[in-house]
Amino acid sequence: MPAPSGAVEFDDDVPTAPSSRDLPALEVLARELEALDYTVDGVEELLGGAAYDALGRGQLAAALLEAQGRSRGGDRARAVPVLLWLLGETLPEEDLAEAFPGSGVAGLERLRLVERVEVGAGGVGTPEADRPDRIAQRENARCSSATAVSESAEPDLPAGGARWRAAVDLRPYGSDVGGNLWVSSDLGSELRPGRLRHDHVLGIGRASLTLAQTVIRTEADRALDLGTGCGIQTFHLLAHVRHITATDISERALAFARFNLLLNAPALGIDPQAPGPRVHLRRGSLLEPVQGEQFDLVVSNPPFVITPRATQEQAYTYRDGGLAGDAIVEGLVGGLPGVLAPGGAAQILGNWEIPEGAPWDRRVRAFVPSGVDAWFIQREQLTPLQYAETWLRDAAENRDRAAYLASFAAYLADFASRDVEGIGFGSVWLRRPRDPHGLVRATFEEITHEIEQPVGPHLAAAVERGDWLAAHTEQASSGSGIAEEFLLVADDVTEERHQRPGAEHPGVILLRQGAGLRRTTLLSTELAGFVSACDGDLTAGQIAGALAMLLERPDAAFVSGLLVDVEQLVREGFLVPAR
């Protein structure tokens, strides 16, 4: 399908991003990374479990000591990519040449994965890429033809040998696609001290992993990865979607995404010579690049961070959407149904503001357009003060005391101007029903405890149960409904009873889920009795009728009220249909 008229094709050779034009060079690099066992398992084996876990928490010291020790031993070559791209070490040229004999140091530089550092009498000095003459060379290259860029002469090495450092973050990754994958992004502040550049391309972060674990992975024909960044969500989508359109407002982000897709093309099932039949990259803001199109699935980790208007000129494209308050999330929730095919679903992450004195969900309920299924799960709530701390630290803005205080004050003033008491974070699921006249449902719940990951399969099962209940609700007027169904207690559910010493009956009866969303619910005595009888031998109506007689409550209101509570247990996954 051709791109809509509003879409903008991007320049695939952005000078400040890795180059993906030399496909043979990418093939050589992938083979060398594989040979060096630069994989998730390989790095863990090289560093050891404790140091590897510390690295995952952003603590580099233990990993650095282990990698340096292995480098001095028999694993010098294997340690090179870890020291270079994961730990930010400056390495001598001979180490890179030994580890990457096929690519060579010059090849790594042409791919823009490393940059040369001048060495003076006092040790390491100015990075080669930051010298004025090298900046001028890059600007001249920007105006050259693609052929001239790819065939440019190898730069002269400084006398006495050179030292090299990472120009980007390049790290191993594993996804449900299978195989060993690598992801490039901008270096974080722990490896490049100072504030991030405003067009910083974020790598594999907590939010992107959360979304990847949350997405319901059903087979689909077309998907949209809105705000793709370095392409992580597209990696996962390729496992179950025929074609993905990936968009971003940042040309640098799209260049990183293209590099990542082509470097991993064999594992992702992409033809590097013609990736278009599987993936199409487009530049543009939010839904603008896909107006007039429809998708079976939309996923997005959008720039949802709420940023004060006073600091918008310093916004970061990977997180700041440029609109006041939570307007980005509000606009997406309202606009996404318009690009969904009938039956299509969207899953996004987001922040939303909670006005002073209001329940957390009052405001977001108004985001949802009519005729749309919606499910909001709030996973965390911060105060304005905590929110300011989090996002100023995220961009390493806490290193300049005066600037930090000014930005902190701007955050608090911005929230105060709208009487914001808290900021929620969570996930949103939306669906455009196949039948525009059918029943729709909206669920808003807060789950702040630890849940099972990946949670996507459990969300899929919940959606299926909801559809099953909706179908029976429509039948209820004919006298059937859930009363005629056989139910079972879910395999992961346990019961707890609490009573005071010496008491004849328990005062509290709880059901707990051991998997999925790990909910806990309080049962009444009659509902506990119902659950205990759900072994598939009697229908829900028969069990409810028997309880009515046992409790001497033979009225229809008791049975119907009990079955309403039972439906909620099915909806939440404590009870499941016997199939």
What digits encode the pLDDT tens for the residues 338-358? Answer: 999 999 999 999 999 999 999
> Structure tokens of 526?
């009659």
Question: Does the pLDDT of residue 225 top 80, yes or no?
Answer: yes
Predicted pLDDT at 116: 96
Domains belonging to the chain, first-starting first, are: 23-167 (no CATH), 202-451 (3.40.50.150), 467-577 (3.90.930)
What CA–CA distance (Å, rounded) separates 211 from 232? Answer: 10
The pLDDT tens digits of the residues spanning 60-97 come to 999 999 999 999 988 999 999 999 999 999 999 999 99
Q: What residues have CB less than 8 Å from 506, skipping those under 6 apart?
A: 497, 498, 499
| Residues 372/431, Cβ–Cβ less than 8 Å | yes
> Structure tokens of 1?
């399908």
Question: Does the pLDDT of residue 157 top 50, yes or no?
Answer: no
What CA–CA distance (Å, rounded) separates 518 from 564? Answer: 22
What is the percent of the chain where pLDDT is above 70?
86
Amino acid (one-letter) located at 203: G
Question: What values do phi and psi take at 434, rounded to 5?
Answer: -65, -40
Peptide bond between residue 266 and the one before it cis (omega within 30 degrees of 0): no
pTM of the predicted model, to two decimals? 0.88
> Structure tokens of 240?
């179950």
What is the percent of the chain where pLDDT is above 90?
73
Rg, the chain, Cα only: 28
What CA–CA distance (Å, rounded) separates 218 from 237? Answer: 10
Question: What values do phi and psi take at 339, rounded to 5?
Answer: -110, 10
Which three-class secondary structure state does DSSP give residue 538? strand
Residue 396's pLDDT band (boundaries 50, 70, 90)?
A: low
